[in-house]
Amino acid sequence: MKIVVFTGAGISAESGIQTFRGNNGLWEGYDIDEVATPEAWHKNPELVQKFYNMRRKAVLEATPNPAHQLLANLEKEYNLHIITQNVDDLHERAGSKKVLHLHGEITKARSSIDDSLIYDIKGWELKLTDTCSLGSRLRPHIVWFGEQVPMLNEAAKLANEADIFVVIGSSLQVYPAAGLVHEIKSTCQLVVIDPEIPTLRSRNRTKFIQNKATEGLPIFIEWLKNNVV
Ligand code: NAD
């Protein structure tokens, strides 16, 4: 039996990292077009760098919450994979090993001319003068709005193999990631944990747990232990 957990910004909210929706279209006070697109990087790399440096600092100061930890514990008992839209490393710091990052990782930088050159960032700051081994400027290792999602096929394959697919803390509004819900088999048990249940094409077998991640996951785990061998 394979469990695939699809996490969004909501799972890190209780670690103090802001979600994306519900702020008048702004993200940490910024218009996403100004800070999270390839156009923004060309137009104003200073601002983009400043935005991601600020967010990286917040991520480094945050710690995994009990929801991240419960998932890491479940991985020891079940065949469980995480697909995350989050760019933070809180799943890894909680101990999860099988984590696929759909939208990149904020703790890393990559070459702006060769996508295979990826580097760990030491500390919170990436500078505009930092370069890759080929001498070109390093950019945040983030999938910006309007860019291809390189890990999408791998994520879709995982979703399709799932017997249980659990969505935690995602508004399911950011595509193509949100489309993964439609990749699951008709026999797959879909579970949604979110204080505000996102709109979903109706399905017979959906279990809704309308709670925060730290409260909803224990409910899911109890259901799992009672209903699934
Ligand atoms: P979103 O901000 O669009 O939606 C967040 C969802 O989380 C909402 O449905 C909300 O009701 C729910 N939520 C809020 N508090 C919660 C809690 N305590 N427990 C469970 N759910 C809670 O997030 P998204 O769907 O992930 O899409 C946003 C995009 O922005 C993603 O592409 C992601 O890469 C990026 N993002 C990442 C981070 C991060 O790395 N932590 C943070 C913000 C945004």
Q: pLDDT tens, 116-146? A: 999 999 999 999 999 999 999 999 999 999 9
Could you give the number of structural domains in the chain?
A: 2
Work out the pLDDT band at 21, boundaries 50, 70, 90: low
Say what the pTM is: 0.95
Active site residue 103: yes
Q: What is the distance of C-alpha 128 from the center of its chain?
A: 25
Number of H-type helices and E-type strands within the chain: 8, 11
The closest alpha carbon to 25, from 15, 17, 13, 33, belongs to 33
Same domain, 132 and 208: no
Taking the centre of ligand 1 as the mean of its atom positions, its distance from the CA of residue 229, in whole angstroms, is: 31
Residue 162 confidence (pLDDT) above 60: yes
HSE toward the beta carbon, residue 169, CA cutoff 13 A? 25
Q: Is 211 in the pocket of ligand 1 (CB under 6 A)?
A: no
Same domain, 209 and 114: no
CA 126 – CA 141 distance, rounded (Å)? 11
Residue 22 confidence (pLDDT) above 70: no
Task: Look at residue 229 in the predicted model and tell me its pLDDT.
Answer: 66
Length of the chain: 229
Mean pLDDT of 70-83: 98
Q: What is the CATH number of the domain that holds 96?
A: 3.40.50.1220
Q: Is 64 in the pocket of ligand 1 (CB under 6 A)?
A: no
Q: What angle do CA 63, 194, 161 make, to 5 degrees?
A: 90
- Ligand 1 pocket test, pick from 20, 60, 196 with the greatest ligand atom count within 8 Å of Cβ, gives 20
- Condensed to tens digits (0 to 9), the pLDDT of residues 189-215 reads 999 999 998 888 766 689 999 999 999
Same domain, 127 and 219: no
Taking the centre of ligand 1 as the mean of its atom positions, its distance from the CA of residue 111, in whole angstroms, is: 27
Q: Is 10 in the pocket of ligand 1 (CB under 6 A)?
A: yes
Print the domain residue range for 52. 18-61+105-142
Q: Which atom of ligand 1 is nearest to the CA of 8?
A: 26
Same domain, 97 and 170: yes
Same domain, 203 and 190: yes
Q: Which atom of ligand 1 is nearest to the CA of 196?
A: 11
Q: DSSP H helical segments within 79-122, as ranges?
A: 90-94
Same domain, 28 and 49: yes
Same domain, 28 and 130: yes
Using DSSP bridges, classify how beta strands 99-101 and 79-84 pair: parallel, antiparallel or unpaired.
parallel
CA 163 – CA 159 distance, rounded (Å)? 9
> Which residue is closest in CA terms to ligand 1's atom 40?
86
CA 109 – CA 128 distance, rounded (Å)? 11
